[in-house]
Structures are given as structure tokens and as C-alpha cells.
Structure 1
Amino acid sequence: MRPALRALGGVILIVAIVGLLYVGVGWRMRHMFDGDPSTVARASLQAVRQQNRLTPFAARFVAVVTAEESRFGFSARKTLIMPGLVRYSIDLAKLRDRDLQWDAATKTLAISLPPIELEGPEVDLTAVREYGEGGVLMTLTNAEKELDAANRKAGQAELVTQAHDVLPMRLAADAARSAIERSFAMPLKAAGIDATVTARFRDEPR
């Protein structure tokens, strides 16, 4: 048999196995929960809670900050370029039973999500860059140490500010909603229940 035909046969076999597994899981789900959407949703909620945290989105930001100081007629200036990674997550343990609402008339499962939490920033120390002017003052005094401390503090604050910007927050929210909707939609589908799943944040305007 030609290699291409063998590969095609292998793919067909894998697809067939996956299909049989899906049918088997669906049969088990339908008989286990007797087609009750609320029961399936509660079981899915328990499984989701066990994941503890969902991190659907992460973004890298770069802060550029400058600090200056003058003493004894001399001045010093340092600029810091600080990249950092921020992760956007949801504490799944905060999902409550009452956060799930099943509407039998529209066959819709509505989920209320806890707010997104930011983790970080994790500063990439290998990519940090510094540029300075005013070597005399930095040599004779502790000005450089103070400038570095001020820049580090300002850099961290700038990364946090960028992370809270509208665009990354919206991207994180969209990713979180999609992930949660899939987590609840798949068990419902496997149980043979035709349903729509919508996820919204508790603080999100309706």
C-alpha cells in the first residue's frame, strides 16, 4: 500500500474512533442525566470549578519611563524601558449555582461570570533597557539609586495602567466568555440537548 493511502487510512480510522467515542459519550450523558439541561449544567459547573482558574488571555506591554534629579547645580536623568507580561484570569471557584439560569422557553443557558483578575506584570528582566545622562551627579551622590527606584515604581505602574486599557480588557473578556460557553455547551450537546449558551460578567451592563 502506498504511504499516502496508508496515511489516509490512518486518518479515517482516527476520525471513526473519535466519532464512536463521541457517540458513546453522548449516549452515556443522555442516559446519565436523562436529558435534563439543569442537571447537565450543574454537573458541568462542578467540573469547571475543579479547574480553579481560567487564564484565557495574556498580553505583553512595554513601559517607557524617565526620572530626573538635580543637585548642587548638576542634573541626572535616566530612562527605563521595561517589558512585562500580564495574564487575565477568572477565579472559577467563585462561580455559584445561582450564576446558572436555564430558560426552557428559549433553550438558553445564561451564565454570570465573576470579574476578570489581572496577574502580574511579570517583568522580563532580560529585555529591560536603561539609558542615563548626568554621570557627575550619579558618581558623587546616590542619585542613580534613587532614579532607578523611581523608574522601577513608575514602570510597574505604567504596565498596570496599560493592562487595564479598554482593548486588552475587551479581548480578555471575549476570550473568557468563549471559553466558558464552550465548557458548558459541549456537555449539553453530548447529552443530546439543543441549547444556546451565553456568558456575561456580573458587572457587565445588560
Structure 2
Amino acid sequence: MDQSGVRQRSGLAQGCVIALGMVLAMALAVGATLYFVGRSAFDRLTGGPDPVTVASASLQGLREQNRLSAFAARYVAVVTTSQTRMGFTAQKTMIMPGSVRYEVDLGKLNQRDVIWDPATKKLSIALPPLEVVGPEVDLNNIREYGEGGVLMTLTDSEERLDAANRAAGQKELVRQAREATPMRLARDATRRAVERSFSMPLRATGMDVTVEALFPDERTAQDRERWDVSKSIEQVLRERAEREGAKK
């Protein structure tokens, strides 16, 4: 009776290899892009801008960017698969490097997700969830090692082992990408990028405003309570439009 077994192990110190150069380059590119988006939003304003007006223009500029990728990392998965058939055992190990991007869908942001508290001069943004995109496997740098050539020669074991290793390797890359440390780094980079996109045009108008961006699971009970009683920029703009309509 045939028997088969699969075992996997993550390699290279069981951790992720963060591509610092890649992250730095992306951070600079995102910062430059968001600066020009914010500046463009400010330039489109007429009259005496206030925080709500500036924030609304900045929000529109961000939505036009569609997706924001402020962080990327490179990982290495090492997986081993074995198979026993006809009394012979074959085993293959695959070293699979790959890259992962961390993104937020800015198209999901709307005016209800941005609130302004005039008492504390604080602008709060409720961010969409962080998404792990990939992995993009580096096919040119995959390395494989095997033993049990008799079984691989007589059967299709090698093809089966390769397929199992590829699937396990990609799963392992995603697992590493979702570990606490890289997720925290990705959240911090994304949060800073979004906060800068709102704070720079506000400061350009001379306003001293605090900007805070939070992911859904980062909002405390106090944040949710403040969110419930504070007005979103959608509400503020709608009330202004109603008042202006009543004057006419």
C-alpha cells in the first residue's frame, strides 16, 4: 500500500527578509506622490479654506490614486516534500524567494470616513483594511534539491513533489508576510503616508491641525464614541449646502 507524507519548514532563520532598499524607494516615491496630490488639492481651493474644505479636496486627491502601496518586503520559504511508494522514498526541497506588497484600496475611502473635531482641531481618518498582495515569486532564484532518484525515475513522483512544494512555498511566503512584525511595519508606513497627504495641505494654509489615521481594528472604544458624536466632513458639507440653499 502506497504511503505519502508532506512536511514543510520555513528557512533562513524562520523569518522574513525585509528589502530595506525597496521599502525606502517606495516610501520616497509615495511621499513625493502624496505631496503633489495634496498640493494640487490645495491649489484647487478658492477663497479662504478651512479644515473641512481642505480635507475634502485631499480626500478626492487620494481617491484618484486608487490604491496605495507604501510598503513591500521580500521573504524566503524553504519547504520539503517527501513521498513513499513501492518501498522507495523520494524527497525534494525547494528554496523559494518572493516579494509581497501591502496595500490599501483608497477607492473605498469616502467622506463619511473622515471626521473633523473643531474642539480639539483633530482630523480623523478611518482607513480600509490593509491587504497583502502577492506573493510574486522570484522564479529565477528558485533552488531545488532532491534525493530518491529511483522512485522519481519510475513514477511521476518528481512532478507531484514539485507541485506540492510550489503550493507549500507560496503558502509559506504569505504566512511570513502576515506575521506581526511586517504587518506592523506596513501599517505604520501606510498610516504615515495617509496622514501626510492630509496634514501637508492643511499646514500649507497655516492651520495647526492634528491628523490621525486608524485601521478598523485599531479604533478603541473611546475612538468609536468620539466617531459617533463628531461630524464627518460629509455631514459638515451637507449642512453648509443646506444653509446656503436656505439663504437663496
Q: Same fold (TM over 0.5)?
A: yes
Change (3 A) 1:143 1:107: same
Q: How far 1:203 sits from its partner (Å)?
A: 2.5
Change (3 A) 1:31 1:50: closer
Q: Distance in 2 between matches of 1:199 and 1:37?
A: 16
Is residue 29–residue 191 contact of structure 1 (8 Å, CA) maintained in 2?
Answer: no
The residue aligned with 2:160 is 146
Name stretches of at least 5 consecutive residues in structure 1 with no aligned partner.
1-24
Determine if the alignment matches structure 1 residue 199 to structure 2 residue 213: yes
Is residue 45–residue 54 contact of structure 2 (8 Å, CA) maintained in 1?
Answer: no
SS in 1 for 2:217: coil
Q: Distance in 2 between matches of 1:134 and 1:33?
A: 77
Is residue 116–residue 173 contact of structure 1 (8 Å, CA) maintained in 2?
Answer: yes
Determine if the alignment matches structure 1 residue 113 to structure 2 residue 130: no
Change (3 A) 1:133 1:42: same
Change (3 A) 1:67 1:33: farther
Change (3 A) 1:79 1:34: same
Is residue 90–residue 117 contact of structure 1 (8 Å, CA) maintained in 2?
Answer: yes
Deviations 1:26-52 (A, max 9, x none): xx7697251311011001000010001
| Equivalent position to 1:161, from 175, 185, 195 | 175
Change (3 A) 1:88 1:31: closer
The residue aligned with 2:110 is 96
In the superposition, the TM-score normalised over structure 1's length comes to 0.84
Deviations 1:106-126 (A, max 9, x none): 111111100011110000011
Q: How large is the Cα RMSD of the aligned pairs?
A: 1.7
Is residue 80–residue 129 contact of structure 1 (8 Å, CA) maintained in 2?
Answer: yes
Change (3 A) 1:171 1:33: farther
The residue aligned with 2:151 is 137
Is residue 33–residue 40 contact of structure 1 (8 Å, CA) maintained in 2?
Answer: no
Q: Distance in 2 between matches of 1:31 and 1:72?
A: 77
In our comparison, the structure showing a higher alpha carbon Rg is 1
Q: How far 1:61 sits from its partner (Å)?
A: 0.7
The structure showing larger relative contact order (alpha-carbon pairs under 8 Å, at least 6 residues apart) is 1
In the superposition, the TM-score normalised over structure 2's length comes to 0.70
Change (3 A) 1:31 1:99: closer
Deviations 1:3-59 (A, max 9, x none): xxxxxxxxxxxxxxxxxxxxxx7xx76972513110110010000100011000000
The residue aligned with 2:201 is 187
SS in 1 for 2:173: helix
Determine if the alignment matches structure 1 residue 62 to structure 2 residue 76: yes
Q: Distance in 1 between matches of 2:82 and 2:178?
A: 27
Alignment map for 1:75-86 (pairs within 5 Å): 75-86=89-100
Q: Distance in 2 between matches of 1:55 and 1:201?
A: 15
